[in-house]
């Protein structure tokens, strides 16, 4: 086979792969829309935000279909977890890279990788038997927004820490050596040289963590209490959109089932919004400096 022909083959294979991956995303979206249609027809888009609460029935003209508390629940849990995990992740990556002795850094990195590999059900189980009773002994009931946020923080921390760690490793050595030669302090180098250079990597890490936080289902379902209600405090139980689908899908029929697909669609829209936002922020802040 001539080099030209093997190249052409590869190009077409890659094109095929790309088309397949693209098609999957589009097909999933179309599928979600199609399955949501009965609910849109019988319930209407407005009622998903204005109904008194969430008491779905198979017949869409009866029942109540308000998804807002769950949308808010998803967003609040995600936001709380990212706000806690981002500084921790940045801190741990910086420690690992610039402050820890080599052997500690290596062991520490392995431990975080292990943390990233634990299945979410295991986290959920741990949350249910350790974290929730702990919170319950502090303030009644236990399963709460706080439990969800703490659990999600632990779950997305390794993702954030590892991505940022990789971003720091990609900062050219010359930058650091040059800054050191100028007599800058270690913290000065990290703040003034490393962070600006690694900005996009740090941002990607936090974004990946955010994505995982919003999509997480099992663990959140096990510790959040799943009561459909606007969370009015960190000790209040709440339900996320993902948990809503997982809890009710097995027994849902008719418009109730379709309404669960609307939950999925809403989740998808949320993720798309997140990615678009990241794109915008990325363009504004990261590229102006480099």
Among 140, 173, 289, 290, binds other proteins (CB under 8 A): 140
Is residue 133 close enough to count as binding other proteins by CB under 8 A? yes
Binding segment for other proteins (CB under 8 A), chosen from 10-18, 42-50, 92-100, 277-285, is 10-18
Q: What is the DSSP string of the chain?
A: --HHHHHHHHHHHHHHHHHHHHHHHHHHHHHHHHHHHHHHHHT-TTHHHHSSSEE--SSTTSSEE--HHHHHHHHHHHHHHHHHHHHHHHHHHHIIIIIS-HHHHHHHHHHHHHHHHS-HHHHHHHIIIIIHHHHHHHSTT--SHHHHHHHHHHHHHHHHHHHHHHHHHTS-HHHHHHHHHTT--HHHHIIIIIHHHHHHHHHHHHHHHHHHHHH--HHHHHHSB---S---STTS-B--HHHHHHHHGGG--HHHHHHHHHHHHHHHHHHHHHHHHHHHHIIIIITTT-
Shorter beta-carbon distance to other proteins: residue 112 or 198 = 198
At closest approach, how far in Å is the CB of 54 from other proteins? 8
> Which of the residues 38 through 67 are near other proteins (CB under 8 A)?
53-56, 58, 64
Shorter beta-carbon distance to other proteins: residue 89 or 264 = 264
Torsion sign (Cα): 52, 55, 58, 63: negative
Binding segment for other proteins (CB under 8 A), chosen from 41-49, 102-110, 134-142, 274-282, is 134-142
Binding segment for other proteins (CB under 8 A), chosen from 40-48, 154-162, 178-186, 221-229, is 221-229
Shorter beta-carbon distance to other proteins: residue 115 or 227 = 227
User: How many of the chain's residues bind other proteins (CB under 8 A)?
Assistant: 37
Contact code string over 90-129 relative to other proteins, x by CB under 8 A: --------------------------------------xx
Shorter beta-carbon distance to other proteins: residue 105 or 246 = 246
Among 89, 148, 225, 264, binds other proteins (CB under 8 A): 225
Closest alpha carbon to 221 in 135, 123, 133, 115 = 123
Do residues 126 and 150 touch, judged by C-beta distance below 8 A?
Answer: no
At closest approach, how far in Å is the CB of 119 from other proteins? 17
Shorter beta-carbon distance to other proteins: residue 24 or 272 = 24
Shorter beta-carbon distance to other proteins: residue 165 or 255 = 255
Q: Can you give the binding site for other proteins, defined by CB under 8 A? A: 6, 9-10, 13-14, 17, 53-56, 58, 64, 128-129, 132-133, 136, 140-143, 221-222, 225-228, 237, 239, 246-248, 250-253, 256
């Amino acid at each position: 086979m001539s080099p030209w022909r093997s190249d052409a083959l590869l190009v077409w294979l890659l094109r095929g792969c790309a088309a397949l991956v693209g098609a999957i995303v589009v097909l999933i979206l179309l599928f979600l829309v199609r399955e949501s249609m009965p609910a849109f027809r019988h319930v209407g888009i407005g009622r998903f935000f204005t109904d008194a609460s969430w008491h779905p029935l198979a017949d869409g003209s009866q029942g109540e279909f308000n998804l807002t508390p769950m949308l808010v629940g998803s967003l609040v849990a995600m936001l709380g977890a990212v706000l806690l995990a981002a500084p921790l992740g940045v801190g741990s990556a910086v420690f690992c890279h610039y402050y820890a002795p080599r052997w500690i850094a290596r062991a520490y990195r392995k431990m975080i990788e292990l943390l990233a590999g634990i299945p979410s059900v295991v986290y959920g189980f741990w949350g249910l038997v350790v974290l929730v009773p702990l919170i319950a002994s502090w303030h009644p009931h236990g399963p709460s927004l706080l439990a969800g946020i703490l659990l999600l923080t632990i779950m997305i921390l390794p993702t954030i820490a590892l991505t940022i760690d990789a971003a720091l490793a990609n900062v050219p050595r010359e930058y650091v050596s040059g800054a050191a030669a100028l007599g800058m302090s270690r913290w000065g180098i990290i703040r003034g040289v490393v962070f600006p250079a690694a900005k996009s990597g740090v941002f990607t890490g936090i974004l990946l963590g955010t994505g995982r936080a919003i999509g997480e289902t099992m663990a959140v379902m096990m510790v959040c209490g799943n009561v459909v209600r606007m969370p009015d405090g960190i000790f209040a139980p709440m339900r996320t959109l993902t948990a809503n689908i997982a809890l009710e899908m097995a027994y849902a029929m008719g418009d109730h089932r379709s309404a669960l697909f609307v939950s999925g669609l809403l989740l998808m829209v949320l993720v798309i919004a997140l990615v678009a936002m990241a794109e915008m922020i990325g363009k504004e802040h990261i590229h102006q400096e480099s």
